[in-house]
Amino acid sequence: MTGGCGFIGSRFVERLATAGDSVVVLDKLTYAGNLANLDGVSHEFVRGDIADREAVQRAGEGCGACVNFAAETHVDRSILRAHEFIHTDVLGTYVLLEWAREADARLVQVSTDEVYGDVAAGESSSERDALRPSSPYSASKAGGDLQVLSHVRTFGVDALITRGSNTYGPHQYPEKLIPLFITNAFDGKELPVYGDGKQVRDWLHASDHCAAIEFVMRHGQGGEVYNVGGDCELENLTVVARILELCDADDGLVRHVDDRLGHDRRYSLDSGKLHSLGWAPERDFRSGLEETVAWYREHRAWWEPIKSGAYREYYEQQYASRLGT
């Protein structure tokens, strides 16, 4: 599992290890990689970059499959440093595909709904739709996806793609909307809402996302793409209101700030293909968010150290001028 110390990756490693699978984790341990996410989880760890051929071969020795969670993923950071995203999301994916080709192994590319770009009201993206990425992040993920499909067609590599919607849950790095707003609310700090806050996202609990990825890894057809949606489209302001309620925080903390450059208005996935094969999300958003808030409340020792140092520098760079601080 590449990126197995990150948010979704670590939960996937835990899922497979609990089921008795032997798991090797390859992780570069960038800012969002945290070994503490795998405390108590049986695995072998190799530190390395997925764009490093030698590290990939060392971690992949004897493995029959690779699930690629390793990626630069935050849109705001991609606007600041796009080259890092191209290195990991495009070149890194290529290196993994070459390993899979040589090892005759299966590769599952974990991608995102953002590669489809803005979706008009009343429509949903299907796996057959053209890719129209809007940000350096989504463009780099689209580039990785296209590498996968080209290796399937040209070299016969056994590879598949999953494209998930906005994922949330415990252990998520507090730069993303839900953990950022939860932890800020606990500390009585502003909740910086981009623009009018009416952007629509489809929310998927990490446990459901991991279940879908495992299903595709074990039962998916090589060369196919599978959308993984949470069937829960909400405006950002609706999510923010629920966070404030669960954190017992005042709505005066909400601050509307200058919107993100190139901000997509709405994402929506048609997950009918995966549903027809037997997978569907099980966690409802209300209880899932309640559980997530409780986890962050009980695990300050996990996130408080993160929201200092380099994170603090990034936060100031991203929000200080928007908040007028």
- Catalytic residue (choose from 137, 226, 267, 296): 137
Q: Between β-strands 200-205 and 233-235, what pairing exists: parallel, antiparallel or unpaired?
A: antiparallel
CA 130, distance to chain mean position in Å, is 21
Spell 141-150 as b/e; 16+ CB within 10 A means b: bbbbbebbbe
> How many whole angstroms separate alpha carbon 80 and alpha carbon 254?
25
Are 271 and 227 a contacting pair, CB within 8 Å? yes
3-state SS class at 198:
coil
Helix locations, the chain, DSSP H: 7-18, 53-60, 75-80, 82-86, 93-103, 136-155, 177-186, 206-219, 236-247, 272-275, 285-298, 300-303, 310-323
CA 317, distance to chain mean position in Å, is 22
Tell me if residue 114 is catalytic.
yes
- Catalytic residue (choose from 113, 158, 202, 233): 113
283 Cβ contact list (under 8 Å, min separation 6) = 205, 207, 208
In sequence order, the β-bridge partners of residue 192 are 255
Half-sphere exposure (CA, 13 Å, Cβ side) for 99?
29
User: What distances in angstroms separate CA 250 from CA 77, 190, 247, 298, one per listed residue?
Assistant: 29, 10, 9, 20
The pair phi, psi for residue 275, each rounded to 5°, is -60, -40
> How many whole angstroms separate alpha carbon 176 and alpha carbon 75?
9
- Catalytic residue (choose from 27, 89, 114, 208): 114
Q: Hey, which residues are catalytic here?
A: 113-114, 137
